[in-house]
Structure formats: structure tokens, C-alpha cells
């Protein structure tokens, strides 16, 4: 047997092992289909039928398309299936109509971006009580941005030794619920955030939005002479001490009630109408 016949037989055997059909082997080796039949009979090898090859290729190609849609890039798919990157591109484009915009690096990049965004939102939620977009929205407005007001009030409280347990979002939500953000300011008629119980820190459930707080309640809420919160007075009868609250409206002093503690009296003062118009509405 000549060397050419031996090399042809070896090529036929390799083609069969590679899963080619007889027709594919003939085209690959460059011989006739009859030659493939002859050598296959001599070697005792059986070539797969076309239908079986097509089914195997279909299953492989489906897997290639699925991997690509999941974000696996062409180089990785090619290495996994033992084919070239160009062959992967041809399969995706011709058989599934998929391009670079449908998977691979783009999907992987979007997934990584979403992961980084989720990690960033988690950090902002832990520190500020809101996600990154909400934080940016509260930072808009320059010197008049809500976050600037929050930081200033928090720093003022901590500098005076007052506890602070409000996140940025809790603080902002309280202001939003009050509907008085546009009226916030330092004048006696403007609204501010103060504590209901001045012995406790700024915390959810212990803050109130009321007029005059910026100039009085947040400055320790103490009257210089008596040491009592603004609007609170003390009466002593024997061993019993009572605290009563008043509020001045239109030049007239209104009695708000008598309480067991200065904190309760001050809370009544903060909750009382601050203008004659409000008092008329409440009545």
C-alpha cells in the first residue's frame, strides 16, 4: 500500500473521529465520495448520518447563543467549544441574528454597572437613609440645598453636645410631611425643627416642626433667667412644682395649660398656633 493511500486512510479515519459526514469528509480531504465509502469499509468505521450531525450542531449552537446572551464573550465561547472566534461570530449572526449589542461584552458591562450601582446605593442607604439618586437630588440647589441645611443643623447640635440620630432622609421626610419646608427660616414666624423632649437627642419621634425654633428651641430651648424652655413658666406651691405654658399672639398672651414637666409644657408651646389666623382656624 502506497504512502498516499495510507495518508488518505488516516485522513478518512480522522474525519470520522471529528464527527464529519461522508460528504463533508470527501470535501475536506479532496477525494470522491466513493473513495470515502471504500476506505471507511476497509477501516471498519461508520460515519454519522447528516441528521445526527445537524442535531449535535444545533444543540451546540443553541448553547453558544445562550452563553453570548448571558454576557460570555466570543473568545471564551470559542475556547470552550474548540472553534474560532470568527466561527462563533458567524453562528451568532447568521443563525440567530445576534450582534455585539445583544450580548457578550455589552451585557457583561451592563451587569457590572448594575452591580456597582447596587453597591453604591447600599452604601448611601446605610449612611444617609436614601439611595444615590435621592442623595444627589437633595444636594441640588447650592447653598440652599436641603443637604446643606441638614448638615448645618446636625453640626450645630453636635457642637452643643446634643445627640443626633436622624439620617438625611429621615430629616427630609419629616420636613416634607410637615409641608412647611418653604417657610423654614430664622425669623420668629418662620418654621424650624426642634425637640419635643430637650433631654433627648434629635431622633424620630422626638422632633417637631414649629415656628420660632431656629432662634429659640434649637439654642438649648432655655430662658436665660429661669433656665426653662421657651414659653414655659414654673409655679411652686409648697413641695409641688407645676409648669405652665403660654404663647403670645397679636400682643396678647394665651394660656396653654399646666403640666407636670417642662418638656410637656414646651411641647404644648411648640404645638400651639403661632399666628392669630392659625388660632382662628383651629378654633
Query: Same structural domain for residues 38 and 150?
Result: no
Number of structural domains the chain divides into: 2
pLDDT confidence bin for 283, thresholds 50/70/90: very low
Domain extent, residue 232, equals 144-282
pLDDT for position 217: 42
- On whether both 27 and 91 belong to a single domain, the answer is yes
Beta-carbon contacts of residue 250 (< 8 Å; ≥ 6 apart): 276
Domain end (from 79, 105, 131): 105
95 and 210 share a domain? no
Res 282 pLDDT > 50: no
CA angle 198, 250, 186 (to 5 degrees): 45
DSSP alpha helix (H) spans, the chain? 3-17, 22-29, 33-43, 50-69, 74-81, 85-90, 96, 105-128, 132-139, 146-159, 168-178, 262-271, 276-282
Same domain assignment for residues 92 and 198: no
pLDDT at residue 2, rounded to an integer? 67
The tens digit of pLDDT for each residue in 169-220 reads 999 999 999 999 999 887 767 888 988 787 889 999 988 888 766 444 444 4
Mean per-residue pLDDT for 103-119? 91
Do 161 and 51 lie in one domain? The reply is: no
Q: Which of 44-53, 77-86, 119-128, 206-215 has the highest mean pLDDT?
A: 119-128
Determine contact, residues 49/28, Cβ cutoff 8 Å. no
For 85, 89, 157, the CA distances from 70, given in Å and listed in that order, are 17, 15, 51
**Using CA atoms, how far apart are residues 108 and 119, in angstroms rounded to an integer?**
17
One domain, residues 80 and 157: no
- Tell me, what's the pLDDT at 259? 85
Domain's final residue, options 105, 128, 161? 105
Q: Is the pLDDT of residue 226 over 50?
A: yes
Query: Looking at residue 153, what is its pLDDT?
Result: 93
Q: Within this chain, do residues 164 and 249 fall inside the same structural domain, yes or no?
A: yes
pLDDT of residue 224: 45
Q: For residue 111, tell me if it sits in a domain.
A: no
Q: What confidence tier does 8 reach under pLDDT thresholds 50, 70, 90? A: confident
Residue 118 lies in a domain: no
More confident residue, 133 or 216: 133
Do 155 and 41 have their domain in common? no
Residue, of 133 and 236, whose pLDDT is higher: 133
Are residues 276 and 163 part of one domain?
yes
160 shares a domain with 97: no
| Domain-located, residue 117 | no
pLDDT band at 50 (very low <50, low <70, confident <90, very high): low
Q: Comparing C-alpha atoms, which of 224, 202, 206 is closest to residue 153?
A: 202
Cα separation, 204 vs 220, in Å, equals: 18
Cβ atoms < 10 Å from Cβ of 28: 15
Q: Tally Cβ neighbours within 10 Å of residue 186.
A: 10
> Does residue 78 sit within a domain?
yes
Cell of 52: 445526527
Q: What is the mean pLDDT of residues 12-26?
A: 85
Amino acid at each position: 500500500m502506497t504512502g498516499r493511500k495510507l495518508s488518505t486512510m488516516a485522513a478518512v479515519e480522522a474525519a470520522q473521529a471529528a464527527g464529519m459526514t461522508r460528504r463533508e469528509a470527501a470535501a475536506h480531504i479532496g477525494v470522491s465520495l466513493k473513495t470515502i465509502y471504500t476506505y471507511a469499509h476497509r477501516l471498519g468505521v461508520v460515519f454519522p448520518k447528516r441528521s445526527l450531525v445537524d442535531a449535535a450542531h444545533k444543540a451546540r449552537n443553541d448553547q453558544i447563543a445562550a452563553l453570548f446572551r448571558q454576557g460570555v464573550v466570543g473568545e471564551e465561547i470559542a475556547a470552550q467549544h474548540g472553534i474560532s472566534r470568527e466561527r462563533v461570530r458567524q453562528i451568532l449572526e447568521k443563525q440567530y441574528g445576534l450582534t455585539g449589542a445583544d450580548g457578550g461584552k455589552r451585557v457583561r458591562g451592563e451587569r457590572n454597572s448594575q452591580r456597582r450601582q447596587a453597591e453604591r446605593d447600599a452604601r448611601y442607604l446605610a449612611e444617609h437613609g436614601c439611595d444615590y439618586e435621592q442623595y444627589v437630588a437633595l444636594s441640588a440647589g447650592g447653598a440652599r440645598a436641603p443637604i446643606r441645611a441638614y448638615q448645618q443643623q446636625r453640626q450645630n447640635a453636635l457642637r452643643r453636645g446634643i445627640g443626633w440620630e436622624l439620617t438625611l432622609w429621615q430629616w427630609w421626610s419629616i420636613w416634607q410631611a410637615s409641608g412647611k419646608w418653604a417657610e423654614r427660616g430664622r425669623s420668629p414666624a418662620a418654621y424650624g425643627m426642634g425637640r419635643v423632649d430637650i433631654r433627648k437627642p434629635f431622633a424620630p419621634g422626638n422632633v417637631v416642626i414649629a415656628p420660632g425654633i431656629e432662634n429659640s428651641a434649637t439654642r438649648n430651648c432655655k430662658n436665660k433667667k429661669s433656665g426653662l424652655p421657651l414659653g414655659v413658666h414654673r409655679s411652686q406651691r409648697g413641695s409641688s412644682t407645676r409648669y405652665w405654658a403660654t404663647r403670645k399672639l397679636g400682643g396678647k398672651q394665651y394660656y396653654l395649660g399646666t403640666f407636670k414637666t417642662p418638656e410637656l409644657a414646651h411641647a404644648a408651646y411648640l404645638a400651639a398656633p403661632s399666628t392669630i389666623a392659625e388660632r382662628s382656624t383651629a378654633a
